[in-house]
């Protein structure tokens, strides 16, 4: 049995549960213990924790693995293995100052009071840039610190940036990017490692599928070579004859990021009746 620590409630919890469900892992309903539950169809126990505690629980071996933000993992500095990036809860950790402060370079932070919940990451950044500033550690509502005179600048999580704007702040340095990651105890037993590998295999299939679409189109036979170059697919596209003489149906996969460009190129090459369908799992 593998013990996986996930966030009890917060920005990571729903997406983590969703990823597990999409990976075919379901939990028993109405567990008597609100902090633990067992998967019904996988040798997995879930521990529900605050995200800040997850790296330590995994480092100590109380949990074998955990899902946590890269930011929290780095701040805690525990001895854990980063197994896989999970592609959700993306954000960045940035320094922000009042919007009317003139700011040219990181040297302008010298001597300022900077409020943050991430003192270790901030200290490392300041050291790397040879800047001395005062770090004031706070556990929440960091963005109000300059407005109430508690600090001159902040170092905090930014996603859309609207929280900064509504507090009269501007982002001046991006220190790191973060997303949810799967971490593990560095020395798992062979059995647990196998369960973890199975889980990672499923996570990868789910996440890969999210980045691709299945595409079907009709094309005159003389356009198929060109279309095959635009649509390489997993190996090469599937081509099947239509009932209409001289025409074929072409099936392939296309990356979400390249999607619109590919569609335009396909139309130019003579593709018609293009259908695009989401993929549920993708194993390459």
Which residues in this chain contact ligand PRT in the complex, by CB under 6 A?
A: 7, 10-12, 50-52, 69, 71-72, 89, 91, 156-163, 178
- 50-58, 97-105, 141-149, 176-184 -> range binding Zn ion (CB under 5 A): 50-58
Q: Considering the rule CB under 5 A, would residue 108 count as an interface residue with Zn ion? A: no
Q: Per-residue b/e over 133-146, b at no fewer than 16 CB within 10 Å?
A: bebbebeeebbbbb
**Closest CB 43 distance from Zn ion, rounded Å:** 28
Indicate which of ligand PRT, Zn ion, none lies near residue 102 (CB less than 5 to 8 Å, by partner kind). Answer: none
Q: Considering the rule CB under 5 A, would residue 84 count as an interface residue with Zn ion? A: no
- 45-53, 217-225, 253-261, 271-279 -> range binding Zn ion (CB under 5 A): 45-53
**Closest CB 259 distance from ligand PRT, rounded Å:** 25
**Closest CB 149 distance from ligand PRT, rounded Å:** 20
* Backbone φ, ψ for residue 252 (5° rounding): -160, -175
Give residue 120's Cα distance to chain centre: 22
Q: Considering the rule CB under 5 A, would residue 75 count as an interface residue with Zn ion? A: no
Indicate which of ligand PRT, Zn ion, none lies near residue 55 (CB less than 5 to 8 Å, by partner kind). Answer: none
Any bridge partners for residue 95, and if so which? Answer: 155, 173
Residue 183 CB-half CA count within 13 A: 31
Indicate which of ligand PRT, Zn ion, none lies near residue 156 (CB less than 5 to 8 Å, by partner kind). Answer: ligand PRT
Q: Considering the rule CB under 5 A, would residue 56 count as an interface residue with Zn ion? A: no
Q: Considering the rule CB under 5 A, would residue 52 count as an interface residue with Zn ion? A: yes
Of 37 and 248, nearer to ligand PRT (C-beta) is 37
Q: Considering the rule CB under 5 A, would residue 51 count as an interface residue with Zn ion? A: yes
* Residue 156 CB partners (closer than 8 Å, separation 6+): 93, 94, 96, 116, 117, 118, 142, 143
| Burial tier of 49 (Cβ tally within 10 Å: 0-12, 13-18, 19+) | buried
Of 90 and 210, nearer to ligand PRT (C-beta) is 90
**Closest CB 12 distance from Zn ion, rounded Å:** 9
Indicate which of Zn ion, ligand PRT, none lies near residue 114 (CB less than 5 to 8 Å, by partner kind). Answer: none
Answer whether 137's CB lies under 8 Å from 116's CB: yes
Of 52 and 108, nearer to Zn ion (C-beta) is 52
Indicate which of ligand PRT, Zn ion, none lies near residue 159 (CB less than 5 to 8 Å, by partner kind). Answer: ligand PRT
Supply angle C-alpha 9, 15, 19, rounded to 5: 130
Match 């299945």 to its residue by tokens.
214
Match 């929440």 to its residue by tokens.
140
Phi-psi region of 168 (alpha: psi -120 to 50; beta: other; left: phi over 0): left
Of 183 and 266, nearer to ligand PRT (C-beta) is 183
Tokens of 172: 């001046």
Q: Considering the rule CB under 5 A, would residue 70 count as an interface residue with Zn ion? A: no
Cα-Cα-Cα-Cα dihedral sign, residues 146, 152, 156, 160? positive
Indicate which of Zn ion, ligand PRT, none lies near residue 7 (CB less than 5 to 8 Å, by partner kind). Answer: ligand PRT
Of 84 and 156, nearer to ligand PRT (C-beta) is 156
> In the sheet that 247-255 helps form, which strands lie side by side, from edge to edge?
238-241, 247-255, 212-220, 272-278
Question: Interface with Zn ion by CB under 5 A: which residues?
Answer: 51-52
């Amino acid at each position: 049995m593998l013990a996986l620590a996930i966030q009890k409630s917060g920005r990571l919890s729903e997406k983590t549960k969703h990823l597990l469900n999409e990976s075919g892992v379901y939990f028993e309903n109405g567990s008597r213990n609100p902090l633990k539950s067992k998967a019904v169809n996988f040798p997995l126990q879930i521990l529900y924790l605050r995200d800040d505690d997850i790296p330590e629980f995994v480092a100590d071996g109380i949990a074998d693995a955990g899902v946590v933000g890269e930011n929290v993992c780095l701040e805690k500095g525990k001895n854990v293995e980063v197994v896989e990036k999970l592609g959700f809860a993306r954000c960045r950790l940035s320094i922000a100052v009042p919007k009317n402060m003139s700011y040219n370079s990181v040297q302008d932070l010298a001597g300022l009071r900077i409020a943050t919940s991430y003192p270790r990451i901030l200290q490392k950044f300041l050291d790397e840039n040879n800047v001395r500033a005062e770090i004031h550690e706070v556990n929440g509502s960091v963005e109000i610190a300059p407005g109430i005179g508690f600090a001159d600048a902040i170092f905090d999580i930014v996603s859309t940036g609207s929280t900064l704007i509504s507090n009269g702040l501007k982002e001046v340095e991006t220190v790191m990017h973060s997303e949810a990651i799967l971490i593990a105890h560095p020395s798992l037993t062979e059995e647990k490692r196998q369960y973890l590998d199975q889980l990672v295999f499923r996570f990868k299939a789910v996440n890969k599928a999210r980045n691709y679409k299945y595409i079907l189109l009709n094309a005159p036979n003389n356009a198929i070579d060109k279309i095959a170059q635009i649509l390489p697919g997993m190996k090469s596209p599937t081509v099947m004859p239509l009932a209409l003489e001289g025409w074929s149906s072409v099936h392939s996969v296309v990356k979400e990021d390249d999607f619109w460009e590919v569609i335009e190129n396909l139309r130019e090459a003579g593709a018609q009746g293009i259908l695009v369908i989401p993929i549920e799992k993708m194993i390459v």
